[in-house]
Amino acid sequence: MRLGRQEQGRAALARRRARLLPNPTEVVNEGHDQDNGEAKIVVESDSSKPFIGLAFKLQQDKYGQLTYFRIYQGQVTSGDTIYNISNEKRKVRVPRMFRMHSDDREEIQTAEAGGHRRVLRRGSQLRRDLHRRQMNVTLTSMHVPAAVISLAVRPKDRAAEANFSKALNRFTKEDPTFRVSQDEESQETIIAGMGELHLDIYMERMRREYACEVIAGKPQVAYRETITQRSEIAYTHKKQTGGSGQYAKIGGYMEPLPSDSVETYEFVDDVTGGSIPREFISACDKGFKEGVKKGSLIGFPVVAVRCVVNDGASHAVDSSEMAFKTAAWMGFREAYSGAKPTILEPIMKVEVEAPIEFQGSVVGQVKPAPRRHPRDQERRERYHHRRGAAEQHVRLLDGSALRHAGQRPVHDGVREVRARSQAGTGRNDQEVPRAAREGSRRAQVKKANVRARKSLEANASRLLSFVVQCPRDFDNLSRENQAMTPSEADNGV
């Protein structure tokens, strides 16, 4: 029978796998004997020895939760009771077993060492060491890489929160690289995985399998607030009700802690003379602690602050612990705005390892580029602007341009003609007729223009540098060229 292309490829792959991959009996597997100080022992692929296996995968389908496990030693039969050593030797009954063929499965009664089987069971956990009661051996745990990306997720609809929790609980059991945590500060649910596609697949599964739309975003940055200068605290809390009221007055100041301080908050009792009773000092401390929990800038905790109480007043009837706590809290909020608060960003510690021969280039890439002064940037932009303007104005250097540039040493011919036109030809101008005088002058200007044009071609680089250094002259030059007619430009007038 002739096989198709797909069947031929599968058959060739199966033959190569059987020839190249090792036989289970040829591989040396090691375990750790828990009764002998985790000493290493060899786990042999022998069906006559006690059963040792490892559960490595979970799957949820229409029949329930399925656990994939591998048998390293011994055999197991449907209906046997094995022990989960990773969970305090909890008993696990094997109800049914299957041999997998892609999506198809074949129910079996007995499984021996060297094979992969699937057990239909609820409540199993991933990465569990299974064995008989007389064995107390653990196998080498799987290497689970650290997550590389994280997202903050929440259900779009509050009604789907139950399904949202079920989905996350199931996915964490099935995939050890998928991790779920909750930020204590922002109360956000954070999911982490091996890549953006990894997390997108699970969010799509939530929508498809649990009918739970998910809103994803970047986790909130853990900012902090602090103060930069000293600020005085003076607040009086008064409140009158039907019975006894509330009265408390505190005075003091807040100041930033030193940069090398370990503590983020410090309270100092500097009260003398009994202006505040001793039983209310702790209430002032509690009020300040309430104030540092949430700053007024962006609502994040306040760190590196010292609160000092050195004065105050009380009432024999209306003063209470709650009154002084409220006074300290409100006094902190008032003084905080006058202490020039600022925002602190988190700093991450990064370790880079590289060969010694690439140390210079690696350090250069890790270090931030030096910040240039704004004036340097302005000068650079002005230079490029002048150079671009110069390249545009080079084309406008016709007769008028050459006459205007005759003041420069490059255009000696124009300067010579200008000097002759101003000083005359050396003869008496009255003796020469006016027409002859004008004709001779035009001829001299024409010859001077030819010499200057040749000089311009020979000294193009010098002319370009002159244009870049003198942009003001070219502004005037452009105005003159715009005012000239084409005939005047051709005649050099």
pLDDT in tens, the chain (493 residues): 555 566 777 888 888 887 888 777 777 888 888 778 778 888 888 888 888 888 877 777 777 778 888 888 888 888 888 888 766 667 888 888 888 777 778 888 888 876 555 555 444 444 455 655 556 778 877 778 888 899 999 999 888 889 999 999 889 888 888 999 998 888 899 999 999 999 999 999 999 989 999 999 888 888 899 999 999 999 999 987 767 788 999 999 999 998 888 888 999 998 888 889 988 999 999 999 999 998 888 888 999 999 999 999 988 888 889 999 999 999 999 999 889 999 988 877 778 888 888 888 888 887 766 655 556 666 667 766 666 655 554 444 444 444 444 444 444 444 444 445 444 444 444 444 555 555 666 777 777 777 777 766 665 545 445 444 444 444 444 444 444 444 444 444 4
Query: Quick check: 336 and 233 in contact, CB under 8 A?
Result: no
The predicted pLDDT at position 331 comes to: 93
> Tokens 């796998």, residue?
17
pTM score over 0.85: no
Give the pairing of strands 81-84 and 90-93.
Answer: antiparallel
Beta-bridged to residue 180, according to DSSP, are 191
Longest dimension (CA), the chain: 139
The predicted pLDDT at position 491 comes to: 44
Q: Which domains does the chain have, with CATH numbers?
A: 24-139 (2.40.30.10), 149-217 (3.30.70.870), 225-344 (3.30.230.10), 374-491 (no CATH)
Cα dist. 4→102, 104, 190, 402 in Å? 20, 22, 48, 84
Closest by alpha carbon to 418, among 429, 403, 439? 403
Query: Quick check: 37 and 53 in contact, CB under 8 A?
Result: no
SS3 279: helix
The predicted pLDDT at position 485 comes to: 46
Give the count of alpha carbons within 13 A of 15, CB side only: 6
Cα-based angle 364, 369, 372 (whole degrees, multiple of 5): 145
Closest by alpha carbon to 444, among 462, 407, 465, 419? 419
Beta-bridged to residue 191, according to DSSP, are 151, 180
Residue type, 431: E
The predicted pLDDT at position 471 comes to: 46
Query: Quick check: 56 and 127 in contact, CB under 8 A?
Result: yes
Strands, E, within 227-335: which ranges?
A: 231-239, 246-256, 265-269, 305-313
Task: Report the b/e string of 292-313 with b at 16+ CB within 10 A.
Answer: beebeeeebbbbbbbbbbbbbe
Look up residue 82 and give its DSSP letter: E
Alpha helices in 81-185 (DSSP H): 161-174
The predicted pLDDT at position 327 comes to: 92
User: What does residue 238 show for φ and ψ, rounded to 5 degrees?
Assistant: -130, 135
SS3 102: coil
> Tokens 């591998």, residue?
70
Task: Enter the tokens of residue 85.
Answer: 């050593």
